[in-house]
Amino acid sequence: MAAITESAVRDALATVNDPEIKRPITDLGMVDTVGIDGGNVLVRILLTVSGCPLKATLTNDVTEAVSGLDGVSDVRVDLGVMSEEQRKELQETLRGGKSEREIPFARPDSLTKVFAIASGKGGVGKSSVTVNLALAMAEQGLSVGIVDADIYGHSVPDMLGVGDTRPTQVEDMIMPVPVNGLKVISIGMLKPRKDQVVAWRGPMLDRALVQMLSDVYWGDLDALLLDLPPGTGDVAISLGQHLANAEVIVVTTPQQAAASVAERAGTMASMMHQRVVGVVENMSYLEHPTNPGERIDVFGTGGAAQVASTLSERFGYDVPVLAQVPLDPKLREGGDNGTPIVLSDPGSVAAQELTRVAKTLGGRSRGLAGMQLGLSPASGL
């Protein structure tokens, strides 16, 4: 039998991706040494940080890749930690040689579609829509990230079951938390303590938003979804200034009072020169418990249609109603237990409506049509 060579082991290691950064560990400077003694292979891997939450995954992946080589009888993985110098080099590699911060999605050649999920009122289901849309897009094979910028109710991590996860940091670069094929970062993860109340004013919020967009290593994303705070506040303005190319999805309930406030959120987006791509009506109706097919209009009717027609008229382009998502206790339960409804009950009407939206929006190629340029907000809310 031919002897095992170091280059064969390194080729095998090149098939192992870092679970957070999603690039080969050989490209990231994480393979320190390879020792070979007969059929025994010892690989020393350098973690980015000592408390790396995914070291077990990495150890398994390395063991599996090297065990597959001819002649290997035993693989041992020894874990070390990168020095400050090595982490700086890694950061340079990830930034592609650029040292200054920039928002990759704001570059004119960015291929990532950015969707901001906005609402007028709180509690209408904006975060539920965000996580389910993101998961449905990921199910279609897209690489999807979520920025949870909802300072008042940063509920996205809990809805995905990663409420207590802290992101790994490499120098001043933050790794998004990987979950169910998504990459997630939340304003809640940037606070020193989870239970700390965010009482930030405009400039702090702006810094936090920029940090989540530029200091997080997103890699190549097909779509980035931003869960905005309800209303027309500082975060929406900052987003408009930094990412005028974001497309906005307005979430409302059928209630007339909610619809009027939702129109304002849509108008705000347009003032920031962003395009509103449609309205999702959530909590549209409740399926009658004993009489299938009959709908109970818990919150009235017509809210999304009203928002869509007002915005279409105001902007001079078609703003469609993208979906009507019914009230469904399974949607609430899915959010509470970290398994959103598109995963826990994909056949439900709620999951299918959201999957349809994901297909409509995720399938379109990003173009410049309808994109407006310029940054200064006008008045008229």
Ligand X SMILES: Nc1ncnc2c1ncn2[C@@H]1O[C@H](COP(=O)(O)OP(=O)(O)OP(=O)(O)O)[C@@H](O)[C@H]1O
Binding ligand X (rule: CB under 6 A), the pick from 214, 270, 282, 348 is 282
Is 98 known to sit in a ligand binding site?
no
Tokens matching residue 237: 């303005």
Give the side-chain half-sphere CA count within 13 A for 234: 14
Instruction: Give every CB contact of residue 231 below 8 A, 6+ residues apart in sequence.
Output: 119, 120, 121, 122, 261, 264, 265
Nearer to ligand X, 66 or 283 (CB): 283
CA distance 103 to 210: 7
| Residue 139 near residue 359, CB atoms below 8 Å | no
Tokens matching residue 367: 């173009």
Strand partners of residue 184:
146, 177
Find the binding residues for ligand X in span 205-234 (CB under 6 A): 230
Nearer to ligand X, 230 or 240 (CB): 230
Site map 51..80 versus ligand X, x via CB under 6 A = ------------------------------
Tell me how far, at minimum, the Cβ of 75 lies from ligand X, in Å.
45
**Contact status: 327 vs ligand X (CB under 6 A):** yes
CA distance 366 to 381: 28
Binding ligand X (rule: CB under 6 A), the pick from 18, 328, 345, 353 is 328
Tokens matching residue 86: 């090595």
Is 123 known to sit in a ligand binding site?
yes
Nearest-CA neighbor of 161 among 177, 144, 142, 147? 177
Classify burial at 114, counting beta carbons within 10 Å of its beta carbon; exposed 0-12, middle 13-18, buried 19 or more.
buried
CA distances from 199 to 151, 195, 380 (A): 9, 12, 27
DSSP 161: T
Q: Which segment (75-83, 218-226, 295-303, 323-331) binds ligand X by CB under 6 A?
A: 323-331
Tell me how far, at minimum, the Cβ of 281 lies from ligand X, in Å.
10
**Contact status: 296 vs ligand X (CB under 6 A):** no
Nearer to ligand X, 147 or 350 (CB): 350
Strand partners of residue 174:
169, 216
Tell me how far, at minimum, the Cβ of 179 lies from ligand X, in Å.
17
Site map 102..131 versus ligand X, x via CB under 6 A = -----------------x--xxxxxxx---
Nearer to ligand X, 207 or 332 (CB): 332
Tell me how far, at minimum, the Cβ of 249 lies from ligand X, in Å.
12
Find the binding residues for ligand X in span 133-162 (CB under 6 A): 150, 153, 155
**Contact status: 325 vs ligand X (CB under 6 A):** yes
For the chain, the farthest-separated pair of C-alpha atoms sits apart, in whole angstroms, at 78
Nearer to ligand X, 153 or 346 (CB): 153
Nearer to ligand X, 61 or 150 (CB): 150
**Contact status: 340 vs ligand X (CB under 6 A):** no
Tell me how far, at minimum, the Cβ of 225 lies from ligand X, in Å.
12
Strand partners of residue 325:
282
CA distance 326 to 334: 14
Tell me how far, at minimum, the Cβ of 235 lies from ligand X, in Å.
12
Is 122 known to sit in a ligand binding site?
yes
Q: Which segment (34-42, 302-310, 320-328, 373-381) binds ligand X by CB under 6 A?
A: 320-328
**Contact status: 249 vs ligand X (CB under 6 A):** no
Total chain residues near ligand X (CB under 6 A):
21
The amino acid occupying position 124 is: V
| Residue 350 near residue 331, CB atoms below 8 Å | yes
Is 248 known to sit in a ligand binding site?
no
Is 330 known to sit in a ligand binding site?
no
**Contact status: 350 vs ligand X (CB under 6 A):** yes
Binding annotation: 120-127
Binding annotation for ATP: 120-127
* Residues forming the site for ligand X (CB under 6 A): 119, 122-128, 150, 153, 155, 230, 282-283, 325, 327-328, 331-332, 335, 350
